[in-house]
Amino acid sequence: MKFFYAVPVFVLLGILFHVASAEVYVSDKEYAGYFDHDGTYVVYGSVKNTEDQPVIARVQVTVNNGNETFSESRILPIIYSLKDMPFKFEFPQITSGSPVLQSPVVSFILTNSNPLNIEINYDKTLVKYPDGHLTGHITNTGDYTVHNINIYALVHDKNNNYLDEVENTWTIPSLNPGNKTEFVMYPDPTVAKKVYYYSCFVPGTDSSVEMSTPWKGRPFYFSVLSIVYFTNQKFDENSHSISFDAANPWQIPYYANFMFPEGSDNGGFEVFIDGSRIKPLISIDNDTKSWHVAFNVDYGQHKVTISGFDPSYVPNTDEYFYLDAKSALVAWAGLSTFTISDSKLLDVLGIGGQYIPPWVKNTVGFMVYNNLPADDVISEIKYLKQVGVIK
């Protein structure tokens, strides 16, 4: 599931939301768009943080194409001081024409986060191949196990022009202290022959916790990324809100990022802490379309309420509502930190059925380790359904 870059779990927020300044920005030289190999318009770039402390940034990208305007926003992983964070947006609505890319809008929150102790090994194992793809290794230099690791980077041509934003082909499920493991990156085929070198390698993680609460007689599933403890969640159908008991045992504010299913709201969330309204960061994941509601929680015990849910929404009882096709394939094949059933994978792919032959997981392995397009795997599964192999 890729798609939105989740904030690492060890995040300590300091000051509230800021409009971006010259210290946190996207350079014009590192911001561009192109039509990829599928004919979809994509926009890539990199946010620079020249502040003296880490930040969490939100980027909004707007594209004009003829008489239509398209806009997407995303909250990026934490960006450490004097570091960059690559990003990439897809606009599936734009497959032709002459798109005009507008200047990005960047806003941010200052933090006091501890660095993620994952380091890129800049040695002979970091290799760029003639077809443009790259292999390398990372090492866990810390004293705790890190889960769900992604690596992000930018690629350049011989003239130092930026060509694309890329990430490792598969999420690394976990890495123990002192251990190292390989990662692989492939650029989009339309620019692969131009790739000369990679830069701005940045590790990131997703350590979200799944939660649920009854709503309309069904379990309403959502998730939260935070080290603040949220308990006793309860949905109030009169006020269309969820309340929590929140406990922050650390003597500084910490960050919480809630993820709610598509359709549960139209973006009008409101957040109250101990009865006082605060201003959250609100974004939507480009791939999964799930909502992200992020805010600070101060030290101590608090009552948190999130309101604004759509009263007409009916929970779909889907624990893994956020899965896109590729992440569902990876989970089903046992290449993630959790697994899903045959029926759940088929549901994500929009195919009816309860059974998939186990050998299909070998094809998913080719997708992960040999850069086989996810669409090819999906086409195979659809064909197996048509001929009756998938029941």
pLDDT in tens, 110-163: 666 666 789 999 998 999 999 899 999 999 998 887 777 888 888 888 988 888
> Where do we find the tokens 């690596």?
151
The CA distance from 96 to 28, in Å, is 23
For residues 266, 311, 319 and 326, what is the CA-based torsion angle, rounded to 10 degrees?
Answer: -30
Q: Which domains does the chain have, with CATH numbers?
A: 18-110 (2.60.40.10), 118-202 (2.60.40.10), 209-307 (2.60.40.1180), 325-386 (no CATH)
Mean pLDDT (whole number) for 171-184: 85
Quote the crossing angle between the two packed helices 374-386 and 325-332, to the nearest 10°.
70
pLDDT for 149 equals 82
Say if residue 10's pLDDT is above 70.
Answer: no
Mean pLDDT (whole number) for 314-334: 78
Bridging pattern class, strands 276-278 and 300-307: unpaired
Mean pLDDT (whole number) for 240-248: 93
The CA distance from 37 to 188, in Å, is 7
188: left (phi over 0), alpha (psi -120 to 50) or beta: beta
- Condensed to tens digits (0 to 9), the pLDDT of residues 187-206 reads 888 888 899 999 878 887 65
Q: Which of 192-206, 248-262, 269-283, 338-352 has the highest mean pLDDT?
A: 269-283
- Condensed to tens digits (0 to 9), the pLDDT of residues 74-107 reads 777 778 888 888 888 889 899 999 999 999 988 8
Q: What is the pTM of this model?
A: 0.51
The CA distance from 83 to 105, in Å, is 19
The CA distance from 61 to 46, in Å, is 12
